[in-house]
Structure 1
Amino acid sequence: MLFLTLTLLANIIFSLAENYSSVNDLEIIGETDILQFPGSLEDPGDDFVHLLFLFHISPNSDQEKVKGVTRRLKRHLDRFLFSIFDESTGTPINFIIVTDEKSKIIVHNAINESIGRVLHKKLFYNRIKFVDENWKFPRFKIQYVSYVFFQQKYRKKLDLYREILCPQENVEIPIIDVNEFTTLTKTPVDKSLQGVRIQLSSSVFCPPRYQLDSFYIQFVIVNELPKFIKKMIRLDIDLRLRTDIGLLHDQFSLMNRNEIFGLPKDWPGDWLGLNKIRAWNYLAKVNSSSFSQTGPYQALNSGIVLFDIEKLRTQPDIIAPEYILKLKQEYRYIPMNDQGGYDLIRYKHPEKVYMIPCQYNYMEVFASKDYEPLVLEYHTCLSKPYIQHFAAEDIHANNILVRYKNLLKLSWWCWDPTWHHCY
């Protein structure tokens, strides 16, 4: 009886796979069993998209904190990986995963679980109404790169990036517009102080979590990548794809001959206009009202970064810590984390940075909040979301409306369940 049951189940699966032609092309190239040095990465083929992400659980925190961080990152990772496979139309992917030995186990299990969930959904429920008929399981290669390698080889440089882009010393900021300063900082200021310099702690703008090496390894990894990697996408894991990764990769074809980096604008206004406060020293000189809004000083978000590695190899100094420090001093800017480095590069070299359209960085948490018309004018993205970004999701996790939205898997802009991009 057991043999008969297994035989029938095997026949059912074979029949489903046969009818679902996309699965016939399923090909897993393979994966490494040990952590590699980046220079030993293998070339999977010219048609592969090189996708880099970092997953590392810091061992320096207390045990309870580590458990909480692990649960949060695991939730992000599961959603991220599932969406990549679930939205695939067949674009081959070379996963370059910077991690450590213990964290690799979590990633490995998450990949296996995501593949199982997607295949179960597509094979057994391919007849349901909302399944995308264009879905196709991708060929992919998984390559794990050693996190410790970068910490050991680039210890001094990583420390320098952190000191420059996440400063902890006190800084001076002038009060240019008393009313605006009060609105953005929620701090009442006497109007007689207009133009007076006040002392603020930059720790307000650079939380301790941005001291981690994981935010700055992206600036040194370029030095180690093999020559076959000419273009690379770096993604945070708190993302959910709503389209094939190939559509994001197609943005490279829209970059001109000078553009090295591709980043989306931050929304809304780099955490509610704080980017403007961090740059008020510079604004006192240029008197630009467009800072952090729609002008050339729009803040950037580094959750998604396109690297034209081939161009970057010809001018590596543009991301050197010494050069970023020089730009920081020139613009008298107070960075908050790694994306402050890209802000500075764009201020000095706007021709080097391509602006990725807003639908590739749809900020979910902020979409659920109410903003004044002026803010919405600059930051509303009316396009269909291609990539949802759940930045600061945990900050608002206790908000009952956000929890209700997450339970229903709805965006605030979506009320009709037939709108596929809402789910």
Structure 2
Amino acid sequence: MELTSIFLFFFINQILSEEVENSDIKEEKEGMLSNLIANITEDTRTEEDKLRDKEEKAKQNAIFEEKIKERYKAIVWEQGDQRQKLVRSELISAGEAQPPSDKYVSLGVIVCNVTIKGMVGGIMRLFAKLIRSIYTYSKGTPIHIVVITDKKSFSIVHSIVVNTIGRFLSETAIASGLNRGLPPWNVLSVFPKTWIEFVELDSITKDNREIINMMKEEYSLNKEDAIDFPISPGPDGTPRVVTLSPKYSQDLFYIGPFYGYEFKKINRLIVVDADVVVKEDLIYLHKYFDEMNEDEIMGVTMDTAGYYSKISKFLDKQSVQLNSTYFRTDDQVKKKGLNTGVVLYNLEKIRNSKLYKELLVYDKIKDIKTEIGLKSETVQIDFQLGDQDYFNLLMWRNPQLFKALPCEWNVQDSPVMVEVKHECKAKAKIHHKHGDIHDNEVFD
């Protein structure tokens, strides 16, 4: 999941009571307070103005939706279209999704809300780029792609997938004819075996509605409109403003914890953000499933943008000051925090994990901030990044459930400058460029 200039890092309303503060904690408090939500410009609109703006926004979104539908028309199959062998043409439930065999690498990606203006403008362009990169770097590994989408987005997303594959097949056919002497109609013989399915988002959320709604309150700040507020100047002294997107109030950012119980016919699932580019055959990433120990049910790459660094530092100091252990790990890698742009979900182990089942209940999820020392009468840290924030706290609370993956499988390129970064020195096997997904050039 991305960490860009559209997201608030976090803010603390009150760090510690005066009884437990010392100079180090006060110093940390001052650093954290630089991101206080109080810096946001106050909304001075009247109720009439707000209503007028809301109506105008709805009008503009209707126009945007029609343009999107016109640009990405539904696919009309022609007789003998080779793409029909690769792409499922209907929207199914998560429980129905299934790879053709265990030789396929199952890859999940979420592409929703594409008809909503201002939500994730560049997602379609980047999604097509992701699909293309998978095939460009494939060495022939059979690939099962699971696209999670909503009903309004389905025909558009389906069109993008089919047309992207079509272009790649055409190019492959030409290359095959030139380099291998194969006729164009035989292109599928050199194209990796592929099966693509489209899963309806509601099939995941419907049985988990109560928990999802609660998580939205815990891990999302603004519900409807984007909010701007100033942050520290850039390295050259240029004033900067952060915009908080309201997108983390959407269901799609809270479904990760439930994959194991919803994807009943898939045992291993790699889930990536739509704004990543794959630069290696995915079989090499898939092999890390076999390296997980008995307790590990998820493989994650750590955050390299420094998003969680201040919270981690604060917890370390608080643990010393209060003589309490909030981290359940001494692993300095895991203390950096994780990024869910690339996650390996061992769904079979998740379904069989007694511990995970006990943790995935309403009260346990709601209380995790308190258990880890980030929510009390004197401490209140708010988060913005949906289930990434939850998984991060879960990793700090129960580190044995998570395997840390090499950083090259999620090399993050963020425009946000923070004090502490954990840069990856290795050559990227998956490149995750934050920010491009909010480029509104959607009609290219």
When normalised by structure 1's length, the TM-score is 0.66
The C-alpha deviation readout for 1:353-372, integer Å capped at 9, x for no partner, is: 11111111111345xx8888
Secondary structure of the residue aligned to 1:269 is coil
TM-aligned CA deviation for residue 348 of structure 1? 1.8
Distance verdict in 2 for CA 1:275–1:167, change over 3 Å: farther
Q: By how many angstroms is 1:44 displaced?
A: 1.0
- Provide the residue aligned with 1:222 in structure 2: 260
Provide the C-alpha distance between the structure 1 equivalents of 2:312 and 2:425, rounded to a whole number of angstroms: 28
1:284 CA displacement:
1.6
Name the CA distance, whole Å, in 2 between partners of 1:70 and 1:269: 23
Alignment of 1:214-293 (within 5 A): 214-226=252-264, 228-270=265-307, 275-277=309-311, 280=314, 283-286=317-320
Is structure 2 residue 138 aligned with structure 1 residue 88? yes
Residues 308-387 of structure 1 aligned to structure 2 (within 5 Å): 308-315=346-353, 316-333=357-374, 334=381, 335-337=383-385, 338-366=387-415, 375=420, 379-387=422-430
| Residue aligning to 1:32 | 88
Contact 2:129–2:277, Cα closer than 8 Å, also in 1: yes
1:88–1:28: structure 2 CA closer, same or farther, 3 Å change rule?
A: farther
> Taking every aligned residue pair, what percent have the same amino acid on both sides?
27
Q: Report the Cα offset of residue 140 of structure 1.
A: 1.4
> Counterpart of 2:434 in 1: which secondary structure?
coil
Structure 1 residues 286 and 393: CA distance shift in structure 2, 3 A:
farther
Compute the displacement of 1:110 (Å).
1.6
Corresponding residue of 2:435:
392
Amino acid at match of 1:267: T
**Distance in 2 separating the partners of 1:123 and 1:364:** 34
Q: Do the aligned partners of 1:92 and 1:140 also contact (CA within 8 Å) in 2? A: yes
Q: Could you list the per-position Cα deviations for residues 285-324 of structure 1 after superposition, in whole angstroms to 9, with x for gaps in the alignment? A: 2469x99994441110011111111111123233444323
Contact 2:312 2:336 in 1 (8 A): no
Deviation of 1:100 (Å): 2.1
Q: Deviations over 1:185-207 (max 9, x none)?
A: 759xxxxxxxxxxxxxxxx9975
Letter in 1 for 2:368: L
Relative to structure 1, the CA distance from residue 186 to residue 277 in structure 2 (aligned partners, 3 Å threshold; closer, same or farther) is farther
Higher mean C-alpha displacement, 45-54 vs 115-124: 115-124
Alignment partners' CA distance in 2, 1:103 and 1:41 = 18
Aligned-partner SS, 1:301: strand
Give the whole-Å Cα distance in 2 for the aligned partners of 1:152 and 1:100.
Answer: 13
Provide the residue aligned with 1:163 in structure 2. 217
Q: 1:144-183 counterparts in 2 under 5 A?
A: 144-166=198-220
In structure 2, relative to structure 1, the CA distance for the partners of 1:75 and 1:247 (3 Å cut) is same
Q: 1:326: Cα distance to partner? A: 2.5
Partner residue of 1:114 out of 156, 164, 188: 164
Seen in structure 2, the aligned counterparts of structure 1 residues 370 and 344 have a Cα distance that, compared at 3 Å, is: closer
**Larger relative contact order (C-alpha < 8 A, sep ≥ 6)?**
2
Are 2:277 and 2:430, in contact at CA under 8 Å, matched by a contact in 1?
yes
Once the two structures are superposed, the pairs formed by residues 13-24 of structure 1 within 5 Å of their partners are none
Could you say if the C-alpha distance between residues 264 and 330 of structure 1 is closer, same or farther in structure 2, counting changes exceeding 3 Å? same
Would the alpha carbon gap of residues 209 and 286 (structure 1) be closer, same or farther in structure 2, given more than 3 Å must change?
farther
1:71 is displaced (CA, Å) by 4.2
Contact 2:94 2:262 in 1 (8 A): yes
Shift of 1:277: 4.1
Separation of aligned partners in 2, 1:38 and 1:58: 20
Contact 1:205 1:336 in 2 (8 A): no
CA contact (8 A) 2:83 2:165 kept: no
Alpha-carbon distance change, 101 to 295 in structure 1, aligned in 2, over 3 angstroms: closer
Match of 1:7 in 2: none
Shift of 1:388: 0.4
Asked if 1 retains the 8 angstrom alpha-carbon contact of 2:204 and 2:262, the reply is no
CA RMSD for the aligned pairs? 3.6
Counterpart selection for 1:302 from 340, 349, 358: 340
SS in 1 for 2:403: strand
Please give the per-residue CA displacement for 1:143-181, whole angstroms capped at 9, x wherever unaligned: 211123334333222101212333679xxxxxxxxxxxx
- Look up the equivalent residue of 1:336 and give its one-letter code: Q
Secondary structure (helix, strand or coil) at the match of 1:56 reads: coil
* Distance (Å, rounded) in 1 between the aligned partners of 2:190 and 2:86: 18
The amino acid of 2:287's aligned partner reads: D
For these two proteins, the number of residue pairs brought into alignment is 319
**3-state SS, counterpart of residue 392 of structure 2:** helix
After superposition, what is the alpha-carbon deviation per residue over 1:96-155, rounded to whole angstroms, capped at 9, x for unaligned?
Answer: 221123312222222222223323443435679xxxxxx952111122111233343332
* Structure 2 gap ranges (5+): 1-81, 180-188, 224-230, 234-241, 375-380
Q: Tell me if the contact between 2:342 and 2:410 (Cα under 8 Å) persists in the aligned partners.
A: yes
Q: Which runs of 5+ in 1 are unaligned?
A: 1-25, 60-65, 129-134, 170-184, 188-203, 399-423
Structure 2 counterpart of 1:349, one-letter code:
N
Once residues 78 and 259 of structure 1 are traced to their aligned partners in structure 2, the CA distance between those partners, rounded to angstroms, is 32
Q: 1:105 aligns with which of 152, 155, 172?
A: 155
Q: Is the 8 A contact 2:123 2:437 kept in 1?
A: no
The amino acid across from 1:155 in the alignment is R
Residue identity in the other structure for 1:280: F
Partner of 2:251: 213
